[in-house]
């Protein structure tokens, strides 16, 4: 009873804090943003073929691989600089944009020279490859605005910008596909047009609020490149884990199978959405408690983490059991074969949720460069794993590799986190 009263009192204090309210708004806006493509699945799976879905998925995959080299993860550097240098912040943002313009032009040239090779391995027409580079730059400009909204604690602005972009993206997709009888190209054009339009909106808003000053500063250029560039291995490792299987399915099986997998991944990502949303709210609470350096508080955190592991595991199992009903409601019968991937994808996202709970200690200790090598290591292992698993078990081997890699990432990160920040994981825990 005592623990219950204490817990309720602490919960009451947390819910009244501005931090909790901001986290709640971020979660709600992210939920609304993520629900739009999910709710459109019934229509899109009806009008698009498996091959169309495959090409759209591969375009998104190419964009994801290019993005770290265009944006160089500098949105993280911008967030960090906001808290340390108010007077130079606008000039710093301007230097980050100038770096991104240079990197975009370099990537554009590389993609132009190798567009036929990229087209061969991705099934995207070579003339469309360059649009992926343009979309990456547009997304980076949008990320800058969203980052500034976050550091200024403006969750409503964040939510309006994010949701408006998604609504236009999918609304335009429907117009191009249903009214103009376009297929995968309508979906891709909607992404590119929306990205460019909202990039212009972001630039206008940033200039109006005087968050951009285009004045070259060598110290700013060096800091942004070192900070963002150091996170590229981490970003690439994560992308290898999540997206490599689509390349192998495309080149070892078929574009149709890639489309089936992408539909299953979109449904399974519901688990990932909830774990990410929870982690966004959990991190501020965790950091505030770790600062107290209290062993009893650490024990409570560990007990809660173990309980969370159990809950998310059974939540994933329940979601898998209910998945056939979701297929009947949301998915066209032509895509029912996607069901074979669901178990592995769902539990891949379950292990990703567990990974989030242990990687936070590495971020708290400011030793993310170790995490970058772990993520890249697992991402590289994912390449031969996909090849051999697909050889052994067919297309479903891609889903198995996805699940195994996230389990491996979770275990390796847990071991690493305990090395850089000690928590009482192995102690005999008192009753909850």
- Distances in Å between the Cα of 328 and the Cα atoms of 149, 163, 316, 323 are 39, 27, 19, 9
Residue linked to tokens 């230097």: 95
Tell me the pLDDT of the chain (432 aa) as tens digits.
444 444 444 444 444 445 455 556 666 666 666 666 666 777 777 788 888 888 888 898 889 889 988 998 888 778 767 767 667 899 999 999 999 999 999 999 999 999 999 998 888 898 899 999 999 999 999 999 988 887 787 878 888 898 899 889 888 988 998 888 898 899 899 999 999 999 999 999 999 999 999 999 998 888 888 877 767 777 778 778 877 888 888 888 888 888 888 888 888 888 887 887 777 667 767 877 887 888 888 888 898 899 999 999 999 999 999 888 877 777 878 888 888 999 999 999 999 999 999 988 887 776 767 878 888 899 999 999 999 999 999 989 999 999 999 999 999 999 999 998 888 888 554 444
Sign of torsion over alpha carbons 305, 311, 313, 315:
negative
Contact 57, 259 (CB under 8 A): yes
Separation between Cα atoms, residue 401 and residue 287, nearest integer Å? 33
Answer for the pair 54, 250: CB distance below 8 angstroms, yes or no.
yes
Here the tokens at position 134 are: 């343009």
DSSP character string of 195-248 = HHHHHHHHHHHHHHTT-------HHHHHHHHHHHHTTHHHHHHHHHHHHHHHHH
Query: pTM for this one?
Result: 0.74
Query: What H or E segment, with its residue span, contains residue 29?
Result: helix 18-39
Helix (H) or strand (E) run with residue 311 in it: helix 295-330
Domain extents for the chain?
Answer: 24-227, 230-432
Give the chain's end-to-end CA distance (angstroms, integer). Answer: 12
* pLDDT per residue as tens digits for the range 52-109: 888 888 898 889 889 988 998 888 778 767 767 667 899 999 999 999 999 999 999 9
**Cα–Cα distance measured from residue 35 to residue 223, given in angstroms and rounded to the nearest whole number:** 37
Q: Give me Rg for the CA atoms of the chain.
A: 22
Give the position of tokens 């408006």: 164
Nearest to 124 by CA among 191, 170, 68: 191
Pairwise CA distance, residues 176 & 190, whole Å: 8
CA distances from 335 to 46, 48, 212, 328 (A): 9, 10, 47, 10
Polymer length in residues for the chain: 432
Tens of pLDDT along 366-410? 676 787 888 889 999 999 999 999 999 998 999 999 999 999 999
Alpha-carbon distances of 182 from 37, 48, 190, 215, rounded to whole Å: 18, 10, 11, 44
Tokens of 24: 């709640």
């Amino acid at each position: 009873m005592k623990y219950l009263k204490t817990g309720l009192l602490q919960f009451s204090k947390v819910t009244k804090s501005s931090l909790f309210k901001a986290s709640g708004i971020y979660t709600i806006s992210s939920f609304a943003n993520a629900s739009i493509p999910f709710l459109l699945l019934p229509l899109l799976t009806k009008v698009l073929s498996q091959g169309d879905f495959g090409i759209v998925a591969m375009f998104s995959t190419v964009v994801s691989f290019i993005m770290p080299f265009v944006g160089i993860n500098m949105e993280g550097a911008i967030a960090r600089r906001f808290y340390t240098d108010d007077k130079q912040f606008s000039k710093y943002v301007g230097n980050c944009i100038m770096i991104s313009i240079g990197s975009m032009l370099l990537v554009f040239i590389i993609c132009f020279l190798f567009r036929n090779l990229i087209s061969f391995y991705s099934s995207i027409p070579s003339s469309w490859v360059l649009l992926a580079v343009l979309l990456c730059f547009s997304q980076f400009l949008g990320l800058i605005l969203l980052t500034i909204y976050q550091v200024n604690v403006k969750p409503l602005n964040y939510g309006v910008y994010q949701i408006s972009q998604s609504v236009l993206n999918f609304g335009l997709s429907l117009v191009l596909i249903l009214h103009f009888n376009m297929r995968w190209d309508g979906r891709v054009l909607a992404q590119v047009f929306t990205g460019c339009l909202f990039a212009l909106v972001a630039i206008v808003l940033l200039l109006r609020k005087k968050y951009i000053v285009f004045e070259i500063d060598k110290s700013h250029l060096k800091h942004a490149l070192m900070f963002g560039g150091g996170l590229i291995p981490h970003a690439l490792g994560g992308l290898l884990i999540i997206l490599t299987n689509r390349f192998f399915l495309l080149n070892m099986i078929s574009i149709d199978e890639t489309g089936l997998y992408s539909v299953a991944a979109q449904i399974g990502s519901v688990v990932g959405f909830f774990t990410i949303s929870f982690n966004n709210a959990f991190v501020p609470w965790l950091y505030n408690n770790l600062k107290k350096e209290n062993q009893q508080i650490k024990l409570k955190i560990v007990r809660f983490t173990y309980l969370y592991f159990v809950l998310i595991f059974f939540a994933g199992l329940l979601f898998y059991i209910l998945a056939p009903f979701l297929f009947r409601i949301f998915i066209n019968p032509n895509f029912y074969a996607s069901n074979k991937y669901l178990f592995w994808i769902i539990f891949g996202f379950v292990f990703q949720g567990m990974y989030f709970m242990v990687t936070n200690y590495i971020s708290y200790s400011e030793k993310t460069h170790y995490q970058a090598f772990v993520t890249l290591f697992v991402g590289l292992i994912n390449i031969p794993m996909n090849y051999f698993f697909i050889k052994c078990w067919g297309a479903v081997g891609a889903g198995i590799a996805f699940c195994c890699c996230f389990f491996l990432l979770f275990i390796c990160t847990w071991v690493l986190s305990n090395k850089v920040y000690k928590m009482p994981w192995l102690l005999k825990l008192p009753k909850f």
